[in-house]
Structure 1
């Protein structure tokens, strides 16, 4: 087959370079790109295909006259306080697009099948008192003040809260990679979670590359956003000067839902014979959360210094990195992983829609990153059947 050279606008090549890292492209492709930009070489179609694949950029974008404008509303809600975060990664963009497709399907399904809009979406819009907001969310979810006492660890707590959201109609999806591509890991430095508001199908996405305690906090943070009715892209830049007032409130609400202030203060006083660092560790076990959450609570109530708070956070980050490195990249059970990534209510709705003839199997596979072999088992484990 003859070599086919193609004319690509230099601005497109420069834009594509800004969307990826040099490590993804490799030395040979980088050398070719430099020659394309200098005009000493013209790319072949096959080379552009390789560029497209390695950069995770749609092939058609390369043949535009000017760089595409990707209107992704959710990106407006980022806290950007570094050069690294100035340009959203293709992994983040593709994940948002994937979750929007899930939400679009769920909204259409619920509207077509006679569901009412969810009254909890935006119910607390404009309210500012974290303790009162948390009380109202607890009432809506039928969540007891000391609910955490029934669970062993943050993972169990997360599963319980996710189940309550399932019953309330909120879609909760998790993943640590883009779709089913293990070579496209999501970065917790870029984002920990996001929430996309919709009256019929509010959706929360949690970056499962995060620690168990951090995922629980992110879930509660995004719950607050659902109840406020405001989209969110959460990247936990608490010390950034760019953090919006609503983010501060949502963090306070999440903290109150995990460790209610009055209960926290009582338990802190009860442990007064222990040093402060020990109290933080014990209370994290009591509330089934990360030590960072307890340290923040203690700092906000003038129980510890800013230095101690920062030290606890740094220790937590280091401990998680060490734990993650020790686990390696080994697999685990495919079906358990797939089940954890998908929302049960969403999968059950897909199964019902397939059975009634409204949705094809092909569309269900696409929306769930499964196939003809794996979808039935994943659906069964989530309470669906076809």
Structure 2
């Protein structure tokens, strides 16, 4: 007979519920009826050690946690700036937030212990300031010139320059092959810690919306507003539809990515056709829709003209989705795609990956902790380092 795991029922139940997992879903992972799992959570019976270990892995919790006498302190939930009718955070989103909180907590503690100076841009402004002023300060701090991207890859340039200033940028659309992230549920979040500012971007969207999300989340850092976002887009929402912080950060992003002076100087002729709009939008690294909304808000085009061009922008987006689906299908057939280690670096943040590897190589970080922080086995660290230097 298999050895029983004499877990603490209240902790066992908390671990499942904090993973946003139903009893039915959790029971499937250990091939038992949901009623049996609920018995374990009530203390009426006990799982085997193997079953408890399997569930610990599913909940992304240490196996030893199940034997604590009471529910442990956990990371505090991030403030939710999403609309009141937004989707509830699912298991994937909860795991992603928890993972970033673990990384951020380690780097923040390390920087504090090393007496590193606080980053002066964190909380430099408040929501009462002018969004255009915040946008300009972000551009000045990161040395970015909108519309003059050197690499031809705006989002990469923004990420590289943000990380060069000490802001950790994590970007992914999955936890693992079975657990993906829904951009309708979670587009991004920011942890505005002056010792270790961290930004997460859901990469399920295409590059242009991702860039808008990135700059929106940087605005959260600049006003020290830690929290979750899911309504990141340039638009004309009524003031009561979005949280004031989200409206403000959307304004900052629009001003930073498409400064009014630059757009006005281009002249109205750029809005004569959808192809011209697309060309200008590409220069700024934004979607045609974002550019049109910005032009409308600046009174550069009429509402009638906006609606006409938006139809073409919508068609452009649909065409993009079709191409993306075809691309995914082709990659699946050929079993090709981005390097696993590149995806891990993007998920961990390039800056965070380098920081952990430096600490590990310098002997100030235990191998098991380094492996846990990077989600990569120690004997594969050389693959991460090789990818970092490409």
Residue of 329, 342, 350 corresponding to 1:344 = 350
Comparing 217-226 and 47-56, the one that deviates more: 47-56
Alpha-carbon RMSD: 3.9
Give yes or no for contact 1:195–1:205 (8 Å, CA) kept in 2: yes
Q: 1:158 to 1:49 in 2, by over 3 A?
A: same
2:100 alignment partner in structure 1: 99
Residue of 68, 74, 97 corresponding to 2:78 = 74
Q: Deviations over 1:19-49 (max 9, x none)?
A: 34799679999993379889xxx98736975
Give yes or no for contact 2:202–2:210 (8 Å, CA) kept in 1: yes
- Deviation, 1:235, is 0.6
Distance in 2 of aligned mates of 1:367 and 1:57: 13
Question: Following superposition of structure 1 onto structure 2, how do residues 68-147 of structure 1 map, counting pairs within 5 Å?
Answer: 72-82=76-86, 85-86=87-88, 88-147=89-148
Distance in 2 of aligned mates of 1:43 and 1:283: 65
**What is the TM-score when the length of structure 1 is the normalising length?**
0.79
- Deviation, 1:194, is 0.7
Distance in 1 of aligned mates of 2:196 and 2:148: 26
Q: How many residues align?
A: 370
**What is the TM-score when the length of structure 2 is the normalising length?**
0.78
Q: 1:336 to 1:51 in 2, by over 3 A?
A: closer
1:214 alignment partner in structure 2: 209
Q: 1:269 to 1:161 in 2, by over 3 A?
A: same
Give yes or no for contact 1:79–1:237 (8 Å, CA) kept in 2: no
1:45 alignment partner in structure 2: 47
- Deviation, 1:341, is 2.5
Q: 1:22 to 1:187 in 2, by over 3 A?
A: farther
Question: Following superposition of structure 1 onto structure 2, how do residues 182-221 of structure 1 map, counting pairs within 5 Å?
Answer: 182-221=177-216
Q: Does 1:257 align with 2:256?
A: yes
1:292 alignment partner in structure 2: 289
Distance in 2 of aligned mates of 1:91 and 1:213: 23
Q: 1:316 to 1:57 in 2, by over 3 A?
A: farther
Task: Look up the SS of the partner of 2:78 in the other structure.
Answer: helix
- Deviation, 1:288, is 2.4
Q: 1:297 to 1:16 in 2, by over 3 A?
A: same
Q: Deviations over 1:227-268 (max 9, x none)?
A: 111113111266484411221121111112111112112324
Give yes or no for contact 1:19–1:55 (8 Å, CA) kept in 2: no
Q: 1:63 to 1:210 in 2, by over 3 A?
A: farther
Q: 1:16 to 1:351 in 2, by over 3 A?
A: closer
2:339 alignment partner in structure 1: 333
Q: 1:356 to 1:281 in 2, by over 3 A?
A: closer
Comparing 95-104 and 300-309, the one that deviates more: 300-309
Give yes or no for contact 2:270–2:280 (8 Å, CA) kept in 1: no
- Deviation, 1:63, is 9.7
Distance in 2 of aligned mates of 1:357 and 1:117: 25
2:269 alignment partner in structure 1: 270
Give yes or no for contact 1:296–1:309 (8 Å, CA) kept in 2: no
Q: 1:203 to 1:5 in 2, by over 3 A?
A: closer
Give yes or no for contact 2:183–2:205 (8 Å, CA) kept in 1: yes
2:369 alignment partner in structure 1: 363
Give yes or no for contact 1:292–1:316 (8 Å, CA) kept in 2: no
Task: Look up the SS of the partner of 2:33 in the other structure.
Answer: helix
Task: Look up the SS of the partner of 1:296 in the other structure.
Answer: helix
Q: For structure 1, list consecutive stretches of 5 or more residues without a partner in the other structure.
A: none
Task: Look up the SS of the partner of 2:266 in the other structure.
Answer: helix
Comparing 27-36 and 184-193, the one that deviates more: 27-36
Task: Look up the SS of the partner of 2:92 in the other structure.
Answer: helix
Q: Does 1:281 align with 2:252?
A: no
Q: 1:55 to 1:367 in 2, by over 3 A?
A: closer
Q: 1:72 to 1:255 in 2, by over 3 A?
A: same
- Deviation, 1:78, is 3.0
Comparing 89-98 and 304-313, the one that deviates more: 304-313
Task: Look up the SS of the partner of 1:173 in the other structure.
Answer: strand
Distance in 2 of aligned mates of 1:236 and 1:57: 28
Q: Deviations over 1:319-354 (max 9, x none)?
A: 443233212255432232223333233223223322
